[in-house]
A and B are shown apart, each in its own frame.
Chain A
């Protein structure tokens, strides 16, 4: 028992007092120093306050420096995560651009398909009828008859002109061929009393028949609905119900003249010098 106690005391003494080969201070001395520091700090002696503040400043400064690797690590992680975030965002945006490009191409395709289908269904907005098939002709004579409003053109059957062909002036419908000769043809103008053309009024689905009155500034509409009141600045388009002309060809317009709503042709037959003669089956 006493031997064991002796061993314990020896071991403790050895641990406390022996400094070892490289130990500059013994444990006993350092423990005493610690206790004295605790006591001094706890007693809050006057000289301890500046000492403590100096130690604090020093330690905090070194602590700030020592924390830099951690801060750098955090910065690095943040930068790397941001980089990957931007990268993933970039990939997403690239995909989106690809998608939008595809959509654009798809739209272009749909647009062209739409045009094609319109062409097939005769709904094309292209009114350059003369581009498809037309024979240019010169107006050689403008008949000034009180009833028969017609013009003569310098093209006839030799050039393939037939009865019933439609005549345009600056893309506006003027009339139909009623008489053909070998070298010339007669065109009945829309202003003529005998001219009857099925039309549709702009912005509505109202159909009517545009009739000539012999006056280019005053045409008439027949077969209008009973309570329908015509408004000015309305364009009349061919309805295509005659089965001959394509629908949507602008023909005439309404206008206000001395509080009266009148109808006039869009093209002026008096000013027509060159006309396009077509077979009327535009876009078919």
Chain B
């Protein structure tokens, strides 16, 4: 009594009580689907963090002057501003062997106007060309400006995709002249779209040579930040120490006083948040596992009812020669069949659901979670089917036959 026939018999048993079986299958379906979906949501948010890390650029440190630090600022404001000289000093390969590049950055928020259309990008940066490698921008059209543009104070600008579509519509932007803060800038390049990093549109950006931006917009005061790219990921900590050492020396900050400059390793911050979302994924998976467990209890419940209802049938089968194992396997197969059907339906529903964005996260289904959920469903069916089935198998034939 094994093989296809047993499955057919079990299937007939399930079909005899369609609604009841369907509800039990639904219970398993919800359990399996929620495992798949919730793990996919967790993975999705992890992937988002990962892409944010990548979008930041590789091995990048951000150096910022403190802003509004109360009393300290009034007597030491000069000492605590970042200058072009700081950026130059950080590029000294003798003092800072672990630093690949140091990009001075100024920020502004001017309006870009072209042919009557005005637009203010969320991010307008003046920088040196090393920003493109540090921030991993690639040219989509045209070319990025060069260091000679910086030296010559050339009024050129590189635009992100979002800015292009807002300012130019369908017109090819390369070579066009736009007005930025009363000056004419020539568009030389467009960056390849990078998409959103989760909090901001990375293509809503315009980048011009730092000298030109200082000329026409910010003046030659302190710069906003310095973007430092380390030579490798392993060199990040050394680079960070070199930054602090060089800047403290330049600004006469003693080793005992707290350093006035903030060196942020954004990548490591995000790695922390990646670890957090790991915990989040595990938690989600556990919550989903509970619903799988509840589905399993549903299977057990229904199998107990089925065994009770079919006591007489069990008696008949035993009277004509069914052994304990025959009865056991009959009901066990039925329980596993319920959970397998629920598992399959759950996989389909789960995968279908992960195609939609959930709570702002695009879920990333993984083969592992599908296998895990389905496997767990089968194990749950086996586990919760065992007790009812062994109860059926151990019924005494004489009692089972007499059962009304």
Q: Do A and B come from one complex?
A: no
> Which residues of A pack against B, CB within 8 Å?
none
> Which residues of B pack against A, CB within 8 Å?
none
